Amino acid sequence: MMAYYEYKDGTFWAIRTKDNAYFTCHGNKYDGFYPDKEDKWTPNGKKMSFSNSIIAEAKAEKLSLKKSKGAIKQDKNFWRTAIEINTNVLFFVPDKYKTKELCLLAVCKDGSSLQYVPWEMRSIDICIKAIKNYPCALEYMDNNIKTKKLCKEAVEKSGFALKYVPDKFITKNICSIAVKENALALGCIPDTMKTYELCLKAVKKDRLAFKFVPDTLKTPELCLLAVTEPDESGNYLMSEIYDEEINCPLAYIPSELITNEICTKAIQSSYESFKFIPDKFKTYEFCLNTIKKRPSVLEYIPQELKTYELCLAAIKESGSVLKYIPEEHKTPELLSTVFKDSRAFGCFEHIPNKYKNRQFCLDAINSETDVLGMIPEKFKTKDFYYDAFKLKPTGIRFIPKKYITKKMCQIVIKHNYARAYINNLPKKYLTDDFLLKAVKKNGWLLHCLNDMRKTKKICLAAIKNDGSALKYVPFHLRTLKFCRIAYKESPYSINYAPESVKESIKESCHILQKRL
């Protein structure tokens, strides 16, 4: 079973069963979520498992009935509005409301929603519209309606779409097109179709593509290029972890091709390369020289090589490496340098308690606001919180509401922090006037507000500040007039306008531009 409910305050609650478990999630209905991917059921995703599927279904039905009380009535108009706000909700639409018209609306807004369209409705026309804004919608199409032309058009827009192209259409030309659009599409190409020239082209464009180069095509020159070459934008790779796989180029270089030069170059462009350097190259001198340029390498240096001299050299370059320093090396001399570095994130918990006096804690807070949430109990007083707030107003999210004053709230607005910390402020200060001033500073503050607090006046002020805040305006307020104002401030806001007014918005703005 599956169910989806929305409430007047702008929140939603959803549930679905699978095998012997059910999954639930709830949150802001204006934020997207993936209804068919249990590992991405956010925000507030939860899984409950049972001994069998029958019990799971029964428990889910009971919980669904409870959550349905107080929910907005669901009819044809409800589902259309829900789809306008979040196309993924199509997954939950009952069959009697899941019409071709509704599916077309969803797909035209976001082609990825094609996966929730019943197979019998996935005509060539609706599939073409899906690919227009989401090329990888090829994945959700029947191979029988995939044409050579359609596949080429999809790959030209996204190289990754090649993954869903039928084998009969995989040619050298379409592979070249895929790599040209996105170098990482090299991973979608069969090894038999990969040539040295194609791999060279991909690695020059994006060094991460090296992981998809067959060993038989890896030459010393290509390996050196992979660890030293900046991408086409001129930026060096700062982090290889984009997913659960290992993407660091050095990790894919055959051991017989790894040289001291390759190791040195690899470290210069990415500190995480260090963990893939063969032990024979990890001399103390090499580690010390590397630390001075890339202190984060300390994470991967063997314990026996972490001398006081080496740790001190690392901490002077970046306070954030404190967590990798052995306890016996944490001396007053070494610790005194930690919070002089503005990048000293996540260090406070690794400081021995004996050094955490009042001034040390305040210095730490001045460097990293989150420290305020980890201070010793003895400092959790009104005076300390006040002093900490003067240093870092963003620390208000860690201050107990009983200590937060009206003046503090006004400072938060003045410095434009309200969007991030509005939910940490006492409700007695959150008047309409206060919220109006806040959205005038940052329209996206609407994201944090309950729909019941979103008055027409507040929403208007928000979109005048940032047109994209239209995303969080209650749907009944998204009139042509509102949308025009939002579009004028930010053309991107067109994505949040009702489909029925989009053309009118573009037309009126085009006419206005001509007059000007």
| Structure-token match 């979040």, residue found | 86
Candidates 186, 215, 219; CA nearest to 203 is 186
Residue 196 forms part of a structural domain: no
Which pLDDT score is estimated for 237? 46
Q: How far apart are CA 158 and CA 136, in angstroms?
A: 7
From first to last of its 516 residues, what are the pLDDT tens digits of the chain?
999 999 999 999 999 999 999 999 999 999 878 887 766 666 688 999 999 999 999 999 999 999 999 999 999 999 999 999 999 999 999 999 999 999 999 999 999 999 999 999 999 999 999 999 999 999 999 999 999 999 999 999 999 999 999 999 999 999 999 999 999 999 999 999 999 999 999 999 999 999 999 999 999 999 999 998 665 544 444 433 344 567 789 999 999 999 999 999 998 888 889 989 998 999 999 999 899 888 989 999 999 999 999 999 999 888 889 999 999 999 998 988 887 765 667 788 899 999 999 999 998 898 888 999 999 999 999 999 999 999 999 999 999 999 999 999 999 888 877 666 888 899 999 999 999 999 999 999 999 899 999 999 999 999 999 999 999 999 999 999 999 999 999 999 999 999 999 989 877 666 555 544
Residue 504 forms part of a structural domain: yes
Strands (E), 405-497: none
Distance between the two ends of the chain, CA-based, in angstroms? 56
- Contacts of residue 167, defined as CB under 8 A and 6 or more positions apart, other chains included, come to none
Give the number of domains in the chain.
1
Candidates 467, 425, 421; CA nearest to 444 is 467
Residue 490 forms part of a structural domain: yes
Is the Cβ–Cβ distance between 7 and 82 less than 8 Å?
no
Report the predicted TM-score, pTM, of the whole model to 2 decimal places. 0.82
SS3 21: strand
Residue 508 forms part of a structural domain: yes
Burial 108-130 (b: 16+ CB within 10 A, else e): bbbbbbbbbbeeeebeeebbbbb
Residue 277 forms part of a structural domain: no
Which pLDDT score is estimated for 492? 93
Residue 236 forms part of a structural domain: no
Is the Cβ–Cβ distance between 341 and 319 less than 8 Å?
yes
CB count within 10 Å of CB 330 equals 18
Q: How far apart are CA 372 and CA 396, in angstroms?
A: 9
SS3 6: strand
- Residue-range definition of the domain harbouring residue 431: 426-516
Is the Cβ–Cβ distance between 285 and 259 less than 8 Å?
no
Residue 318 forms part of a structural domain: no
43 prior amide bond cis, ω within 30: yes
Burial 281-313 (b: 16+ CB within 10 A, else e): ebeeebbbebbeebbbbbebbeeeebeeebbbb
Candidates 268, 271, 275; CA nearest to 224 is 268
Residue 442 forms part of a structural domain: yes
The rounded radius of gyration (Å) of the Cα atoms in the chain is 28
